[in-house]
Structure 1
Amino acid sequence: MLRIASVNVNGIRAAHKRGFADWLAARDCDVVALQEVRAPIESLPENAFGDRHVVYEPGQIPGRNGVAVLTRQRPVAVRTWDADVLVRAPGEDHLHTEPAPDRIPLARGLAAHAHEGRYVEVDLAEAPVTVASLYLPKGGLPAHLQKPGRMREAPDGGAKYARKQRFMAAFARHLTRSRRAAAADGREFLLMGDLNVAHTRQDVAAWRRSQQAEGFLPEERAWIDGLISPRSLVDVVRSLHPDADGPYSWWSWLGQAFAKDSGWRIDYHLATPRLARTAVRAEVDRDHRGVRLSDHAPVVVDYDL
């Protein structure tokens, strides 16, 4: 059995204050993909990643983004988008990064994002699986939906929306390449992370009033449609919970959203079909001993390999 989790920690330092280290030890996952680590390497908490090997791509934007993969054994291979990574074994405390041993040829459109700390992938030693951690841009509304006075941020003419659309188009090309490369190497492929898109009505509690909200726009949902199919990638959590609302993985800190379970499912495990068929259990850890680790919750799947 391989227990694999995806967690947007929304800042590793804040998550540690809320009990991330205790959750990591108690949940006993074999692999953990992290997003929004949001810490320079020299500012990582002591024992930030527990007794795991870590590959951390911090990016070059201070206090933003940052993705990592934690494993029990040192990965066989590490790949990023032309960025340096921290590769560290349990008990080590060095702070230097190094070029990823295998730079990924960038798909058209990704060069503008290569420095942002949004993607890293590793080949596991534990099983013939390539695991990737992704933090996709949150985006914004297209210009015609931006209404001053009804937005928390100032209207930007659709700039953030357009940027997210470009990223999604480029990433879809990259994802096809990585999935096929894994297959050519005899490996299954698993993409995890915060995709900042809810796919269906089951994935947003208040879906009726969210139809013109970023993250649930028709073109964003159609993008998810294009990623998944019985022959390419499978939404593992949905396959195990086909009729459920949720299970949601993100709730606003505001109001009673968490208490009322008025959330969004935007954190995914997308697996190649053969790997997806081995999934036997999928859970969302809404809190750990009564404390929320982040505005996101860990999405944990057991794969019976």
Structure 2
Amino acid sequence: MRVITLCVDGIDNAIGNGLFDWLRTQDADVICLQDMRRPEPDLAWEPEYQLEGYFGYFFDSPDGTYCGVGIYTRQPPKAIMTGFGFASGIDMDGRYVQADFEGISIGSLLAPGATSEVQSLEDKIQFFDDLQAHLSKITRKRREYIICGNWNQIHRDYDVENFEANADSSGALPFERKWMTQLFNDIGYVDAFRKVNKDKDEFTWWPSGELGEGDGWRIDYQVISESLSGAVEYGVVYKTKSFGSHAPVIIDYDIELF
């Protein structure tokens, strides 16, 4: 099974840069996209957003002007879930959509970035507090998870170029890195990419907007249940062609999804 995740900086921008043409060559089983910036009805019905051979499922913010996530899958899932159901409601701003298959769920996540008045640091802290409780809870279910997306924070200091210059930036703050450590060390999840690639110069996002220009960050992950750790066969950050400020993360799993 091949799973691709990409934060697209607006689906129109990414399609204009050749994203769909590239995806048609990748033989992916599931494609998770974030930051769609398009209302759900457009994504579901307008022909330019349909990917031949795939079923598409989407969730946008209430006003449809920012955020938004989507999943394209070769076969229809048994169920689709939107949002996590947090009491704070932060997750309902087009931040999560999940496709449930037999024994496994695959989600597309866009975490708050805390880079504007719309996404404050307080909102980000609340979101990750809620998410930690949710992820701890679902580890007890007889179900495996692959949660793909832009987590908007690094794990280790080498996951951002020139860490000292960026240490005070949202995404690299001590509590954010600690949260990721707890996720991987205590709660029972695994960074799928790091199972097969230990290189310290692998980045997925460039704030400058151009791949390879300025300091790179690795904030796009495929986070998997610990029980799937042995199924990771291959992982790469695709940087040959640019579709926006983020690069796709491709992971191959020894799993038969359909």
**Secondary structure of 1:180's partner?**
coil
On the 8 A contact 1:246/1:265 being kept in 2, the answer is no
| RMSD of aligned alpha carbons | 2.1
- Match for 1:206 among 129, 138, 162? 162
On the 8 A contact 2:157/2:172 being kept in 1, the answer is no
1:13-52 equivalences under 5 Å are: 13-44=12-43, 46-50=47-51, 51-52=53-54
Give the corresponding residue for 2:203.
248
How many residues in Structure 1 have an aligned counterpart in Structure 2? 251
Once residues 239 and 54 of structure 2 are traced to their aligned partners in structure 1, the CA distance between those partners, rounded to angstroms, is 23
On the 8 A contact 1:205/1:262 being kept in 2, the answer is yes
Long gaps (5+) in structure 1 = 82-103, 141-152
**Secondary structure of 1:130's partner?**
strand
CA 1:259–1:113 in structure 2 vs 1: closer, same or farther (change >3 Å)?
A: closer
CA 1:179–1:121 in structure 2 vs 1: closer, same or farther (change >3 Å)?
A: farther
1:171-250 equivalences under 5 Å are: 171-181=131-141, 183=142, 187-229=143-185, 232-242=188-198, 244-250=199-205
Q: Which moved more, 1:9-18 or 1:226-235?
A: 226-235
Question: 1:230, CA displacement in angstroms?
Answer: 7.5
Question: 1:261, CA displacement in angstroms?
Answer: 7.1
1:72 aligned partner, one-letter code: R
1:66-145 equivalences under 5 Å are: 66-81=68-83, 106-107=85-86, 110-124=87-101, 128-140=103-115
- Identity across matched positions, percent: 29
On the 8 A contact 1:6/1:193 being kept in 2, the answer is yes
2:212 aligned partner, one-letter code: A
**Secondary structure of 1:228's partner?**
helix
**Secondary structure of 2:126's partner?**
helix
Q: Which moved more, 1:188-197 or 1:51-60?
A: 51-60
Question: 1:180, CA displacement in angstroms?
Answer: 2.9
Structure 1 length normalisation: TM-score? 0.76
2:134 aligned partner, one-letter code: H
Once residues 259 and 56 of structure 1 are traced to their aligned partners in structure 2, the CA distance between those partners, rounded to angstroms, is 30
For residues 249-295 of structure 1, give each alpha carbon's deviation from its aligned partner in whole angstroms, at most 9, with x where no partner exists. 001235xx63357310000011112212111110111143xxx1111
**Secondary structure of 2:12's partner?**
helix
User: Could you say which structure has the higher helix fraction?
Assistant: 2
For residues 137-195 of structure 1, give each alpha carbon's deviation from its aligned partner in whole angstroms, at most 9, with x where no partner exists. 0014xxxxxxxxxxxx7xx7xx81111111110111122233433x2xxx311111100
Once residues 157 and 36 of structure 2 are traced to their aligned partners in structure 1, the CA distance between those partners, rounded to angstroms, is 29
CA 1:259–1:193 in structure 2 vs 1: closer, same or farther (change >3 Å)?
A: closer
Once residues 273 and 62 of structure 1 are traced to their aligned partners in structure 2, the CA distance between those partners, rounded to angstroms, is 35
